[in-house]
Each structure stands twice: as structure tokens, then as C-alpha cells.
Structure 1
Amino acid sequence: MPTKIDKKIVAYEVINLEEQRKKAAEEEKIQLEGMHENVQRPEMLVGATYKIKTPQSEHALYVTINDMVLNYGTEHEARQPFEIFINSKNMAHFQWVVALTRVISAVFRKGGDVTFLVEEMKAVFDPQGGYFKPGGRFMPSIVAEIGFALESHMKMIGLLKEEKMPDAIREMLHVKRAEYDTLKGRKQTEDVGSFPADAKLCNRCYTKAAIVMDGCLTCLNCGDSKCG
């Protein structure tokens, strides 16, 4: 069916249908590599090791997380956790440590969204009680601290985004902290990681940094407030 041209022709291009078909076929062949249980482990993996020292043990735990580099050399290059190892001189927890590393590694290799592991592990509480880390952060269990190490690793490789406190809230907390110290007759400290000795435990970030400001329990570490 002929097409009537009503406007002036200002440019034209000759289209090679055969070349277009070949290009479309090649694009269909390009598939992004994703993590799945049939991915073969290469000879070398990149990763990081995190040291965990708890008051519950004389010896530290060393958590090593190795990553698979997917779509290497392309604009879609990404790191995905592939395996985890936990080592320590303390053999008291050997059985559950081995079981934990095997289960987590198996979940990694299944692919998909594995970030849920962080919250699941951080929610594990030791029935004998947790412990406080330097700076006032409360750890409900050794498993939870491994979860925090995993969270740090996932943030480093880009699977999780770092939650940054807005400057306005940070400035407000700084002002309120100064008012609180003045009210209590204390000298204001410049140490960012230091919180009032009478601060309570924040249920959001597990840090002893929550104080009552303007009638509301507010955390100086993460900004969480019972008054919204």
C-alpha cells in the first residue's frame, strides 16, 4: 500500500533489515550472569575477613566472606557472596559454627536476594544474655554479631545501602545533646562515639544512646524517637 508524503523530506537513512535482525539476535544471546547453585567455583575468590572479639570467649572469631565476581569486565559487574568461613581457637562452639557456615554458604549459592540473612541473624538472642561492645552497642548474641559483620560486608559490596542520617536531624541531635549535658551539669564531649552514662538501650540500633529529650525517648546514635 503506497504511503503519501505530505511534508518536505529533510533527511533519509537506508535500513539494512538483515543487519538489524543479526544485531537483535546477538542482543538476545547476551544474558547477565546471575548467582545460582550450578555456578562453578573459580580458583580464586575475592573477599574480606572480619575480627569479632566478645567477652564471652578468650579467643576472637574470624569471619571470612568470599564473593563471586559476576559479569566481570562489563558495566554490569557485581560482587555476590559465595561462601563464608568462621575460624577461632575456641572449639566450644565448633559444631554450630560449622553448621552455620554451611547453611549460609548454601543460601548464598542459591542466588536471589540474600540480604534477609542479616536481619534474621541480628534477631538471634542468647538465653544467657548478650554483651556490650565498646561505644555502648549491645550484642544480643555471637550469632547477631556475625550478622552485623555480614551487614558490613554487604554494604561494602553494594548489596545493602548505607543509611545516612539527614544533616538536619544530626544537627538537631547535637543541639539536644548539648542541652542535655548542660541540664545534667556535665561538660559537653567532642567524642562522637561517646554517649551519656545514664543513656538507655535503643531498641532500633542496640546502642546505649537513648535519652529523654522534650519528654521523648530519643536515640543520639540513630535518631530513633518514640514521638516520631
Structure 2
Amino acid sequence: MAVKIDKKIKGYSVVTPEDKAKDAAKAEAVAREVAEAELRAPDPELANVIQMHERIERPEILIGSTYKIKSPLFEHALYVTINDIVLNAGSEHEHRRPFEIFINSKNMDHFQWIVALTRIMSAVFRKGGDVTFLVDEMKAVFDPKGGYFKAGGVYMPSLVAELGSIVEDHLKSIGLMHDPEMSDAQRALIAEKRAAYAQLSSKKKADVGNDLFPEPKVADAPREEDLEVTGDGGVSFPPSASMCHKCSAKAIVIMDGCATCLNCGYSKCG
């Protein structure tokens, strides 16, 4: 295309592909800075929304929940109280956040570390931000003397881990954490495994007169420690079941020569 030059030429240069790339990079950088500036601009609707931070003063009244820990490590139970603060009450941005935690018991053997732990946790709560990391940190603490099974047959590696489990349950109740939803295929697999195990158990009971298959000793009612309490409708598992390393429930049974979990569907054979 011809271009008419109606002014005096004072100089010239040849535009190379590298020059075009540099100009495009500069234009992209300017556009990115403009977009970031728009994001940093305060939103009038969110300007008055209060977020959790350490400068928020404690109200006179807090709402909370108290949880009981009955561990075989102690003669007396532990009572864990977690109090929450309600931010932006009455608005569409209303939400609860943990504010403080207390642990009380008649057992005073571990009073010092319990007080220290609760004060540190309360300080983390008041700091704001994502406090869910406390759950993973506490549940990863193992007792060198070995853990224990709490009521329901769920293994707890330590008392601190059970405290972490309680914090997890509380954060789920106020909406800060959510359980991963089980897929329909996984639910169908678990139902199939339970049905197969129930059929196998019924067959063994029917062979009472056969000396090769003596009647197994079955409890009249499931023991408290054999009841699953992880949200599966109170399903009872056999007393002879062993612990599953995936879901920490005593629900591993031997089916067709393979270790299978009746709670989460895990199978050692794949």
C-alpha cells in the first residue's frame, strides 16, 4: 500500500521482529498493571465487611460447643470448649470464626502443656486467615507409647491427635471445612462388599452341623468399640475386624483371601 509523505524526512529505522515482540511485551505489561490496579481498588460493598484479625476485641458473650474426650490414657475425661465469634452479624456476610479454646479436667497431671497448647491455639484463631492447618499438624502427632482406639473403633495415634480431630469436627460444623463427597461408584462398591461379606457370614452360620465349618462365635450385640462413628449411619463391623490404615476404622476383613475395608472400600488386592 502506497503512503504519501508530505513532511520532510529527518531519519528512519527498520522495524525488526524483535522490536515488534518488545512492543507487544510492553503493551501486555501495561495492561497487566492496569488490571492489578483495578483489583487493588477498594470495593465499596466490601469496604465495611469485617474479617477476623488479632485487633478484634473479645465480646462479652461468645457462642461455642463443648466436646468430651474419654481416653484410656486418663482416669478422668477431658472437656474441650471452643468458643466462636460472629462477624458481620445480620448481614449477608455473616460468618462464625473460632476465637478461643479451653480444656478442663479433674486430671491435673498435664495441666502445664494443656494450658500452653490452648493459649497458642487461641492466638492462632484470633490471628485470622486459614486456621485449618492446625488440624493436619495436630493429627500428625504420634505418641511414642502407641495410640489407642476411641469409642467407635477409630484409631487415634495420640491425645493431641484426638484434639485435632475435635477441632476438625468443630470447623466442619461452622462451615470452615467440608468432608470430601464420596462418589456414587465408591458407595456402590462399599455396598457390594458389605453384601458379599454378609452373604459369606450367613453361609458359615448355616454350616453349623459340619465339623469342618464350626459355628463362629458371634456377639449378641455389637460392642461399642465396633460401631463405626464416622458418619456411615452407625454400621457395626465384626469384632474380629482389623484397622484400616486409610480411614482408621476397625473394618478390615478377609474376603476371598484379600483384606477388604467395609467402611471405605479399600482393598489390598486393588
How high is the TM-score relative to the length of structure 1? 0.79
Please give the residue correspondences for 1:51-200 in structure 2 after superposition, counting only pairs within 5 Å: 51-184=68-201, 185=204, 192-200=234-242
The residue type equivalent to 2:124 in the other structure is V
Q: In the alignment, is the contact (CA less than 8 A) between 1:154 and 1:160 conserved in 2?
A: yes
C-alpha offsets along residues 72-94 of structure 1, whole Å, 9 cap, x if unaligned? 11111100111100000000111
The one-letter code of the counterpart of 1:208 is K
Contact 1:135 / 1:193 at 8 angstroms: preserved in 2?
A: no
Residue 220 of structure 1, CA deviation: 2.0
Between Structure 1 and Structure 2, how many residues are aligned?
Answer: 205
* Per-residue deviation, residues 175-194 of structure 1 (Å, max 9, x unmatched): 21232243352599997431
Judge conservation of contact 2:68–2:80 (CA < 8 Å) in 1.
yes
Question: RCO greater where, 1 or 2, for CA within 8 Å and sep 6 or more?
Answer: 1
Q: Who is 2:16 aligned against?
A: none
Structure 1 unaligned residues grouped into runs of 5+:
1-23
**SS across alignment from 2:44:** helix
Letter in 1 for 2:108: M
Amino acid at match of 2:80: V
Q: Is the 8 A contact 2:62 2:85 kept in 1?
A: yes
Give the residue type in structure 2 aligned to 1:198. Answer: S
CA contact (8 A) 1:219 1:225 kept: yes
1:210 aligns with 2:252: yes
Amino acid at match of 2:239: A
CA distance in 2, matches of 1:29, 1:141: 42
Distance 1:29 1:81, change over 3 A: closer
Aligned in 2, Cα 1:54/1:215: closer, same or farther, shift over 3 Å? same
Does the 8 Å CA contact 2:189/2:265 hold for their aligned counterparts?
Answer: no
Please report the RMSD computed on the Cα atoms of aligned residues, expressed in angstroms. Answer: 2.7
Structure with greater Cα Rg: 2
Could you tell me which amino acid in structure 2 is paired with residue 42 of structure 1?
Answer: P
State the 1:214 CA deviation.
Answer: 6.1
Query: Deviations for 1:162-204, whole angstroms, at most 9, x for unmatched residues?
Result: 3343344223212212322433525999974311233221222
* Secondary structure in 2 matching 1:194: coil
Partner of 1:15: none
**1:130–1:25 distance in 2 versus 1, CA, 3 Å:** closer
Aligned-pair CA distance for 1:28? 6.1
SS across alignment from 1:210? strand
